[in-house]
């Protein structure tokens, strides 16, 4: 068996990595909008890191059934402050988005991964 190649910039602990999820949405199925405000989302992310998360996945659009899709500008307003603050603090950040413009802006803000549940098919 060949070793799995390392992706530059990602943790390499020699074990399965743990991803903590921070939903910056008013209607998340997992947290009910508890972390919509940037300060609450950032605090939650640091709690997840303290509990052992290796990567923080930040999403500004709910994918729960029946959710209304936010505009691109609303999604950007939700995720960029969180991504930027976490990246600045040294966290490995993933952006959970189906929009290329949001992915690009989040990468510019310091995200290192893109998590697109549509597999690139939404846009």
pLDDT of residue 14: 80
Q: Which pLDDT value is given to residue 30?
A: 74
| Percentage of the chain lying above the pLDDT 70 cut | 92
The answer to whether 70 touches 79, Cβ cutoff 8 Å, is no
Q: Residues 82-98: pLDDT tens digits?
A: 999 999 999 999 999 99
Which domains are present in the chain? 19-115 (3.20.20.20)
Task: Give every residue of the chain whose pLDDT is below 50, as ranges.
Answer: none
CB distance 105 to 80 below 8 Å: yes
């Amino acid at each position: 068996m060949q070793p799995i190649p390392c992706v530059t910039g990602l943790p390499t602990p020699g074990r399965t990595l743990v991803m903590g999820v921070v939903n910056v949405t008013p209607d998340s199925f997992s947290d009910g909008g508890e972390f919509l405000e940037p300060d609450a989302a950032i605090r939650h992310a640091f709690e997840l890191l303290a509990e052992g998360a290796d990567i923080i996945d930040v999403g500004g659009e709910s994918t729960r059934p029946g959710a209304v899709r936010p505009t691109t500008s609303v999604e950007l307003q939700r995720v960029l402050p969180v991504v930027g603050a976490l990246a600045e603090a040294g966290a490995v950040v993933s952006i959970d988005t189906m929009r290329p413009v949001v992915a690009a802006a989040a990468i510019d803000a310091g995200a290192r991964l893109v998590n697109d549940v549509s597999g690139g098919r939404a846009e």
